[in-house]
Amino acid sequence: MQDTKALQVAVVGTGYVGLGTAIMLAYLGHQVVGLDVDQEKVEMLQRGELPIYEPHLDQLLQDSSSRLRWTTDYASAIPNADVIFICVGTPPLPGGQPNLAYVADAAQSIAQNLNGKLQVVVNKSTVPVGTGDWVARLIEEYAIDYHANRYLVVSNPEFLREGTALGDSLYPDRIVLGSDSPAGIDRLVELYQPLLDQQFEAPAYVPRPDGYTTPQLVTTSLSSAEMIKYAANAFLALKISFANEIAGLCECVDADIQEVTRGIGYDQRIGPQFLSAGAGWGGSCFGKDTAALISIGREYGYTMPILTAAVEVNQRQRQVVISKLQQHLHRLKGKRVAVLGMAFKPNTDDLRDAPAHDCIARLADLGVQVVAHDPVAMPRARQEWGHLRYQEAASAAEAMRGADAVIIMTEWDEYRQIDWSSAPRGMRNSLVIDTRHVVPDNCTMGVVERIGRRLTDPLAMQVPA
């Protein structure tokens, strides 16, 4: 479909990163094999079904299907590949350091199936500094016929945001390539040339942004590329925790956090993004990556107090939600509370480290009857949150019916479209804890508690059902 020199690509791991990488590269014209050890997931993909939710990914899959195949067999995916991506999970261990067992398994299986031609192994997974060298040693150890100048390792960290992953993939700010081998960098530049030149037909459902030109190509050493990924995520986590810490002080002095962040966000040195105060950050990256950086520092006897404080503020922010509820309802045992939003952010079904999880768990421990709703993530929650005590609601309205309070934990557009001037009428008490600034400022029904903002008129409390 695209006018590019087609390379043979293998992508090991079909999670959020691996799937997006495989489908995007196939759309750009490369021949791609997606590999996963999970037979059930591979069979789903072979039927054209996605195991995750990401806006428009199903359409891009359909448009790219002629250049895609899926397998569990390394022997059928690796030998012919020019570029091999490692996109497996690196979940945190109890001490904060990432678990590299899946990376090791993938590297060993890849090494055993290399065929002697120039092949580039790409670390796309988020891994600690030094992992690239470690993967190179694994390849040297396990390759049947090792070739020092033909099996090359490149670090190519991803900077995708779940919910906008396709736009981030097709129109990136930068492409980071780290390697000690110029030939490895050259092969990845060849692979990404359609992105670097933006010489591909933009899909109608993910149009090229107005004013967008081309991404910045950043070439570095292996270790610098690995550190770039961690440093980027840690800095974004810092911004969110900073906004949350200022929000708490805003409540003390009767200032408005949204006015404050708007005022400082116009400063080009700061910028407006990632300054939204709320229930704190979640997902698979920020918590894991900050913990990994702190753990790496600990290995070298180097303390990281700023990052440590950011993590502490984030954990405290989750308790703030419960504290606000207790201030109004006092005794929570026996109360009915609706939780709107379960995914850690909108436009995804990813539940990893979602603030809603901790909220539901704490409410249940306090004897609250929790009724939860999410437009997308409830099926996944049935699989992953079986240890929590809550009831599902088919809609936001059903969740709110008869509730003593509602807590908004995810800023889905569906919740923004609710008529908040009338919706609380069906509640036992019209109390809304809005952690994501979803309820409009002009709402006059009931009490709306926000993070870092003035409380609405409490005289509207106790609206009869």
Q: What is the DSSP letter of 423?
A: G
CA atoms within 13 A on the CB side of 23: 27
Dist. CA 335–CA 349, nearest whole Å? 28
Whole-angstrom distance, CA of residue 282 vs CA of residue 198: 32
Whether 250 sits among the annotated catalytic residues: the reply is no
- Residue of 438, 462, 460, 442 whose CA lies nearest to 451: 438
Task: Indicate which residue of 87, 250, 285, 443 is catalytic.
Answer: 285
Residues 6+ apart with CB under 8 A from 154: 120, 121, 122, 123, 132, 177, 178, 179, 181, 184, 185, 187, 188, 222
What is the amino acid identity at position 268? Q
What is the distance between the alpha carbons of residues 465 and 133, in angstroms, rounded to a whole number?
A: 64
The DSSP line for 253-306 is HT--HHHHHHHHHTSTTT-STT---SS---SSSHHHHHHHHHHHHHHTT---HH
Cα–chain center distance at 370: 26
Furthest CA-CA distance within the chain: 78
Question: For 250, how many CA atoms within 13 A lie in the half-sphere containing its CB?
Answer: 21
Active site residues: 285
